[in-house]
Amino acid sequence: MRVVESYRGALDSLISAALLCQLQELEISVDNRSSYRERLSPEGIFTCKTLTSLRLVWRRVDFKVPSPVCLPNVKLLCLIGPMFQLGDHDDSLQRLIQGCPLLQELELHCALGDLDQIFAEDACMQIEIRDISSPFLKKVVLHLDGGLDTKVVVESNNLESLEYHFVGAEYKISINAPNLKYLGCGGDINGVSFIQDLNSLVSAKIGSLLEIPNSEIFYNLVNQVKSVESLTLIQPKVLTVDISNYVMPTFSNLISLEFILLNYHAVESWKLMPILIKSAPHLEKLVFGRKMFRAERVEKEFELLFPEFMPKYSIEHLKEIEFTKFDEKRYEFKLVEYLLQNGKALKKMVLRGSLQPSSYDRIMSYMRCSEDCQIVVEERGSEEIWWMLTVDL
């Protein structure tokens, strides 16, 4: 809907009435589908002392952080869809965070800056999210779109989970979180830097639809996650010549590795597979994520090359293998057969998908190197990849 003046008064009255009820949880959703972007900034919401959870889903709505912000009991703050009206060196986001002293979880899915400014020639923005030092803040999710030369600074000794996905601009993110346990990187990963090593990490996801220009960027990030127990790589495409000349760090704690490949360039990414597995002496579980190939030419190429991408020595010690999206493609059947025939320690293979009875019988007929190996077929759910979520502004 379009929030014209006739609706604005009703909306403000409704919000005011709700706040008088001393609400603890509030969610407001505005879906503006017109070509005209509306502006909302209901100040009463941001000075409510009883709220513990605030979710604003505002699609194609301009938003300016009001002053003051005083939400003394809010533990969850989630903003999805708004266009943040931020100027150069604007501290609005910082004020928003500091106005919630008990904040435990912060989630922002939004665009930064005015569209006219973002697409103007030589436009430049310096936006900082700094000093996230609340003693209770444990989780931060940042999905940001737009804003040229945008700088994001995350500093916290208490933060345990950080997920970011940046698109549409040249972002630089500086991370200083020595107690971080989970890190998710999506979109453009070229501008990430770390103040100190993340030895506390337990789990990490690294994903980029962009070609990584050189191995140094990719491997600097890999070095930061070498202590994890679980690692997911989404479309990791770097130059082959750089890969062959680089010594991968040892992943001493890595137990589970997931590979998600999405387009026809994926064959290049597969060359990382044996290097990663060889560098993880205690790896037990290997996951093939979602759709791996979409071009018939690439499927045929993969059929010929996967023994090279996954040499027998690299899978002999695996205990579990999972396909999260099994589509009954010819190369998938060949890969399953190859893994079953060479997985000496394999205890379980999971296939997620709607298999035809003939496909199930075909797989069950394959010879298994491990007599204890169980084959489990599960219906595929509707879960999507975390970084593929987009906000329709």
What are the residue ranges spanned by the domains of the chain? 1-180
Q: What is the DSSP string of 23-91?
A: -SEEEEEEE--SSSPEEE--GGGGG-SS-SEEEEEEETEEE---S----TT--EEEEEEEEE---TT--
Among 321, 261, 324, 325, CA closest to 293: 261
Is 152 within 8 Å of 173 (Cβ atoms)? Answer: yes
pLDDT given for residue 289 in this prediction: 80
Q: Which runs of E-coded beta strand occur in 189-347?
A: 192-194, 203-207, 230-234, 256-260, 285-289, 320-323
Q: Cβ neighbours of residue 385 under 8 Å, at least 6 residues apart?
A: 207, 234, 260, 289, 290
Q: Could you tell me the two tokens for 155? A: 């500093």
Q: Cβ neighbours of residue 14 under 8 Å, at least 6 residues apart?
A: none
Among 222, 104, 115, 208, CA closest to 166: 208
Among 52, 2, 3, CA closest to 27: 52
How far is Cα 324 from Cα 184, in angstroms, rounded to an integer? 19
> Could you read off the pLDDT of 137-187 as tens digits, one per residue?
899 998 877 655 677 778 888 889 999 887 765 677 888 888 999 999 876
Is 94 within 8 Å of 103 (Cβ atoms)? Answer: no
Q: What is the DSSP string of 111-137?
A: EES-HHHHTSTT------------TT-
**pTM summary value:** 0.80
Tell me 248's DSSP state.
P
Tell me 212's DSSP state.
P
How far is Cα 270 from Cα 145, in angstroms, rounded to an integer? 29
Among 29, 137, 8, CA closest to 80: 29
> Could you read off the pLDDT of 245-270 as tens digits, one per residue?
667 889 999 999 998 876 545 566 67
> Could you read off the pLDDT of 195-221 as tens digits, one per residue?
777 889 999 998 765 555 556 677 777
Q: Which residue has the tokens 């403000």?
A: 12
Query: Dmax over Cα atoms in the chain, in whole Å?
Result: 72
Burial class (CB in 10 A: 0-12, 13-18, 19+), 339: buried
Would you place residue 392 in the very low, low, confident or very high pLDDT band (cuts 50, 70, 90)?
Answer: very low
More confidently predicted of 125 and 134: 134
| 359-363 long-range contacts, CB within 8 A, separation 24+ | 359/328, 359/333, 362/333, 363/333, 363/336
Question: CA dihedral in degrees (310, 312, 318, 323; nearest 10)?
Answer: 40
Lowest mean pLDDT: which of 10-24, 43-57, 376-390?
A: 376-390
> Could you read off the pLDDT of 37-85 as tens digits, one per residue?
555 666 678 888 999 999 988 766 667 777 888 999 999 999 887 666 5
| 161-168 long-range contacts, CB within 8 A, separation 24+ | 163/205, 163/386, 165/387, 166/142, 166/191, 168/118
pLDDT given for residue 73 in this prediction: 95
How far is Cα 268 from Cα 120, in angstroms, rounded to an integer? 36
How far is Cα 2 from Cα 115, in angstroms, rounded to an integer? 19
% pLDDT > 90, the chain: 26
